[in-house]
């Protein structure tokens, strides 16, 4: 055990902000001119004394030598209606205090620290107004600390590694963290609560990673720019919210909506945005049947595209992604991507013709821009490339930034640096202008900006099924709901039915592949396998994918533990139907699901689950489909095999 340096002097000047339910308190502390915060829940310390402030290039640090000028406190309670997502209505309920601070002479710089305390979260941000001789600043370091008991267990992925966020989660203790880790960083503290440190509304600033300082205190480590600084800011500037989600159980953490509440409502009309389910000219490339590059086995030909459109119609899926349609994939595409074209199709692909065919069949095409991180090359073409899709009636684009670094202004920059953040934002805003929705792969992590920009329907931003074939264990998708998915939906590329494929062997049972449509929310949800696999081999299981919605009225976590299992129920936004999904790690589990959350009435249940002898390794195709009538007084007894899962559709009978 590590001794926790949770020092707090009784005489330190303190102001407290209490959550509306009275359980969580954040204390603002001013001690010898330096600002700090600390927090408790049910009178137990959850965050010890933690320093706040900045180091600024060429200036004195900001955060010490301060006096409190005045405070302003408010209470806010508002129901927010979301256009799409896991919940239709979320409650934005908090108490807030703004602390107006000024330095003592001679410098006299001023800024505000704004703290909000929700029933299930603490958030704060720095707001720096312009002032004489202080109008444009360069941040050398943000000093924000999160002083959490170092003996706490955390679930981490490393930061500043070549595959960005695409890593397996590791369970460890805080004091064992080395290097930097990404947020959301989910933590189980010895006092019994679950916390997740993250940020909200990340604009024009480097994203926050976390690192341990010498006292084993977690400290923000803002992603640097190639010039070694953290961010160049024009004042006024407000930092992203530093967010600490707080929960009594692992499952209740998974529906924490504070991040969305901390973002602005949309500033323009987005009534045109619609969530989408799609198939794609995609997995055929991963299993080696087709190629991205032109040649004998080229995937994105006009003929294949039309065949896939016909298949989408038969399968009842609205969207079709086409990757590898443009110039730039020849040879080693990861190396050569610097000259990719986003307007020139390969000779065997006629975009206008395919777009016409799609429109005639009422299929939405999902365009594709693989930038390989060459942002300079992409930004040169951005306007024309988005126009090209828009005039061809294409309203969805999947973008990609494969590669360990971005190339911006001729320099290698991190994807999650200030310049990376600004690039992603530019694409979201331009797409909004053209009425295009985005699914960003190799993205900047989610910080809830889809509340303001609902055309940002999904992201990847974690290890997805493309890593199957050896690099994903059954526990991975049992970590995601408690970690990565706290930052928003994910395009995990669900629904691979060809599990025993010799090139890409999948480490799940088949029932679990449909469970993902419930356990991993995505505003753009991909049924990723080839259509002939769905039609010829498992049409009866595909039925679930055809029916499952991409927009939900509400979400109700049922049971789970981090990295072990997760069971969640969601009600459809457009009907009275409910869906339940569950996934487990390598351990088989039997779960009794009480249906008392249903409304009254009779539901026709379709239950897709693992058979008793199913196993992700030896018998991945062992499944049962059971149909019966149930109501709110019933309970369902469900078995999940090792590496397995289940999916249930509960269709309300009239
Ligand atoms: C990585 C993306 O995650 C994947 O979906 C895409 O097919 C490849 N890059 C190629 O763009
Ligand atoms: Ca990826």
Is residue 221 scored above 80 in pLDDT? yes
Is residue 431 scored above 80 in pLDDT? yes
Tokens of 58: 């060429």
> In whole angstroms, what is the distance from residue 436 CA to residue 458 CA?
13
Pocket test for ligand 1, best of 459, 466, 471 (most atoms within 8 A of CB): 466
The residue whose CA is least distant from atom 11 of ligand 1 is 370
The residue whose CA is least distant from atom 3 of ligand 1 is 441
Q: DSSP label at 534?
A: I
Cα of 282 vs centre of ligand 1, distance in Å, is 9
Active site residue 127: no
Find the ligand nearest to 167 CA.
2
425 and 369 in one domain? Answer: yes
Cβ of 596: how many Cβ atoms within 10 Å?
10
535 and 483 in one domain? Answer: yes
In a domain, residue 207? The reply is yes
Please give the full DSSP string across 80-102, using - where no structure is assigned.
EE-SSSS-SEEEEEEEEEEEEEE
The residue written with tokens 């706290």 in the block is 486
Tell me if 653 sits within 8 A of 602, measured CB to CB. Answer: yes
Q: How many residues does the chain have?
A: 654
Give pLDDT tens digits for 526-553: 999 999 999 999 999 999 999 999 999 9
Q: Which domain holds residue 445?
A: 270-459
Is residue 105 scored above 90 in pLDDT? no
Report the CATH number at residue 132. 2.70.98.10
480 and 433 in one domain? Answer: no
Is residue 12 scored above 80 in pLDDT? no
In a domain, residue 3? The reply is no
Answer whether 0.85 is exceeded by the pTM: yes
3-state helix, strand, coil in the chain (%, to 5): 20, 40, 45
> In whole angstroms, what is the distance from residue 422 CA to residue 519 CA?
31
In a domain, residue 109? The reply is yes
Provide the mean pLDDT of the chain: 97
312 and 246 in one domain? Answer: no
255 and 274 in one domain? Answer: no
In a domain, residue 528? The reply is yes
At which of 417, 441, 459 does a domain end? 459
State the total domains in the chain. 3
Give pLDDT tens digits for 582-641: 999 999 999 999 999 999 999 999 999 999 999 999 999 999 999 999 999 999 999 999
> In whole angstroms, what is the distance from residue 180 CA to residue 211 CA?
5
Cα of 164 vs centre of ligand 1, distance in Å, is 13
Within 8 A by CB and 6+ apart from 273, the residues are 83, 84, 437, 454, 455, 457
Report the CATH number at residue 402. 3.20.20.70
Which pLDDT band holds residue 11 (cuts at 50, 70, 90)? low
In a domain, residue 533? The reply is yes
Please give the full DSSP string across 297-342, using - where no structure is assigned.
TBS--HHHHHHHHHHHHHHT--EEEE-S-BTT-SS-HHHHGGG--S
The residue whose CA is least distant from atom 10 of ligand 1 is 370
Give pLDDT tens digits for 173-214: 999 999 999 999 999 999 999 999 999 999 999 999 999 999
pLDDT at 129: 97
Is residue 5 scored above 80 in pLDDT? no
Please give the full DSSP string across 186-201, using - where no structure is assigned.
EEE-TTS-EEEEEEE-
399 and 502 in one domain? Answer: no
In a domain, residue 581? The reply is yes
Output the CA torsion sign for 63, 65, 70, 73.
positive
In a domain, residue 7? The reply is no
Tokens of 245: 């989600």
81 and 161 in one domain? Answer: yes
Residue 442 region, left (φ>0) first, then alpha (ψ -120 to 50), else beta?
A: left
Which pLDDT band holds residue 305 (cuts at 50, 70, 90)? very high
170 and 22 in one domain? Answer: yes
In a domain, residue 400? The reply is yes
pLDDT at 654: 79
pLDDT at 468: 97
Cα of 466 vs centre of ligand 2, distance in Å, is 7
Please list every protein residue whose CB sits less than 6 Å from any atom of ligand 1: 323, 370, 400, 402, 441, 460, 466
518 and 437 in one domain? Answer: no
At which of 428, 459, 490 does a domain end? 459
For the chain, the first-to-last Cα distance in angstroms comes to: 59
307 and 177 in one domain? Answer: no
167 and 55 in one domain? Answer: yes
Cα of 463 vs centre of ligand 2, distance in Å, is 7
Which pLDDT band holds residue 335 (cuts at 50, 70, 90)? confident
Residue 282 Cα: closest atom of ligand 1:
7
pLDDT at 13: 74
* Candidate list 145, 466, 468, 606, residue with the active-site label: 466
Structure-derived torsion over alpha carbons of residues 215, 40, 200, 173, reported in degrees to the nearest 10: 40
Pocket test for ligand 1, best of 325, 371, 402, 493 (most atoms within 8 A of CB): 402
At which of 459, 475, 504 does a domain end? 459
Residue 42 region, left (φ>0) first, then alpha (ψ -120 to 50), else beta?
A: left
Find the ligand nearest to 402 CA.
1
Is residue 8 scored above 80 in pLDDT? no
Q: Return the closest-CA partner of residue 126 out of 13, 208, 48, 18.
A: 208
Using alpha carbons, list the distances in angstroms from residue 43 to 25, 27, 202: 8, 12, 31
146 and 43 in one domain? Answer: yes
């Amino acid at each position: 055990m590590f001794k926790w340096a949770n020092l707090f002097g009784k005489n330190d000047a303190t102001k407290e902000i209490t959550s509306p339910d009275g359980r969580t308190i954040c204390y603002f502390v001013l001690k010898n001119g330096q600002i700090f915060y600390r927090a408790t829940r049910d009178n137990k310390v959850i965050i010890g004394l933690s320093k706040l402030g900045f180091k600024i290039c060429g200036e004195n640090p900001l955060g010490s030598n301060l006096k409190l000028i005045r405070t302003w406190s408010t209470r806010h309670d508002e129901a927010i209606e979301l256009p799409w997502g896991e919940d239709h209505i979320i409650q934005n309920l908090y108490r807030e205090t703004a602390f107006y601070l000024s330095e003592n002479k001679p410098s006299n710089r001023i800024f505000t620290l704004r703290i909000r305390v929700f029933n299930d979260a603490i958030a704060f941000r720095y707001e720096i107004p312009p002032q004489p001789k202080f109008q444009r600043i360069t941040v050398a370091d943000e000093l924000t600390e999160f002083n959490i008991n170092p003996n706490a267990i955390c679930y981490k992925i490393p930061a500043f590694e070549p595959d960005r966020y695409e890593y397996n989660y590791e369970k460890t203790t805080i004091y064992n963290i080395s290097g930097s880790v990404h947020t959301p960083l989910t933590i189980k503290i010895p006092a019994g609560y679950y916390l997740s440190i993250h940020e909200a509304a990340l604009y024009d600033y480097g994203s926050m990673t976390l690192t341990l300082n010498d006292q084993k205190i977690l400290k923000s480590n803002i992603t640097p720019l190639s010039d070694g600084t953290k961010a160049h800011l024009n004042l006024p500037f407000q930092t992203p919210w530093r967010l600490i989600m707080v929960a009594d159980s692992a499952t209740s953490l998974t529906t924490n909506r504070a991040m969305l509440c901390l973002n602005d409502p949309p500033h323009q009309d987005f009534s045109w945005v619609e969530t989408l389910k799609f198939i794609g000219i995609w997995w055929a490339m991963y299993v080696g049947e087709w190629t991205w590059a032109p040649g004998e086995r080229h995937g994105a030909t006009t003929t294949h595209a039309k065949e896939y459109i016909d298949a989408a119609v038969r399968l009842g899926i609205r969207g079709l992604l086409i990757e590898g349609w443009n110039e730039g994939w020849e040879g080693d595409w990861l190396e050569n991507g610097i000259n990719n074209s986003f307007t020139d199709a390969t000779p065997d692909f006629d975009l206008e013709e395919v777009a016409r065919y799609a429109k005639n069949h009422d299929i939405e095409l999902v365009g594709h821009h693989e930038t390989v991180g060459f942002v300079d090359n992409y930004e040169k073409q951005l306007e024309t490339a988005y126009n090209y899709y828009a005039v061809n009636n294409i309203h969805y684009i999947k973008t990609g930034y494969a590669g360990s670094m971005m190339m911006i202004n001729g320099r290698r920059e991190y994807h999650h640096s200030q310049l990376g953040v600004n690039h992603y934002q530019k694409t979201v805003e331009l797409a909004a202008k053209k009425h295009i929705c985005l699914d960003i792969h190799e993205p900047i992590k989610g910080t809830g900006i889809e509340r303001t920009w609902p055309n940002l329907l999904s992201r990847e931003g974690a290890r997805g099924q493309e890593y199957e074939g050896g690099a994903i264990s059954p526990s991975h998708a049992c970590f995601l709901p408690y970690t990565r998915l706290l930052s928003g939906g994910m395009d995990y590329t669900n629904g691979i039915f060809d599990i025993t494929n010799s090139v890409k062997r999948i480490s799940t049972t088949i029932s679990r592949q449909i469970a993902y449509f419930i356990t991993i929310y995505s505003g753009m949800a991909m049924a990723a396998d080839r259509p002939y696999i769905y039609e010829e081999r498992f049409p009866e299981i595909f039925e679930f994918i055809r029916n499952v919605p991409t927009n939900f009225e509400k979400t109700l976590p049922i049971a789970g533990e981090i990295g072990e299992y997760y069971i969640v129920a969601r009600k459809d936004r457009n009907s009275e139907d409910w869906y339940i999904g569950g996934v487990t790690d390598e351990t088989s589990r039997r779960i009794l699901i009480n249906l008392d959350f249903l409304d009254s009435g009779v539901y026709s249940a379709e239950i897709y689950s693992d058979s008793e002898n199913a196993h992700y390794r030896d018998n991945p195709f062992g499944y049962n489909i059971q149909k019966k009538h149930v109501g709110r007084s019933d309970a369902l007894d469900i078995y999940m095999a090792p590496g397995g899962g289940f999916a249930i559709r509960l269709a309300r009978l009239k």
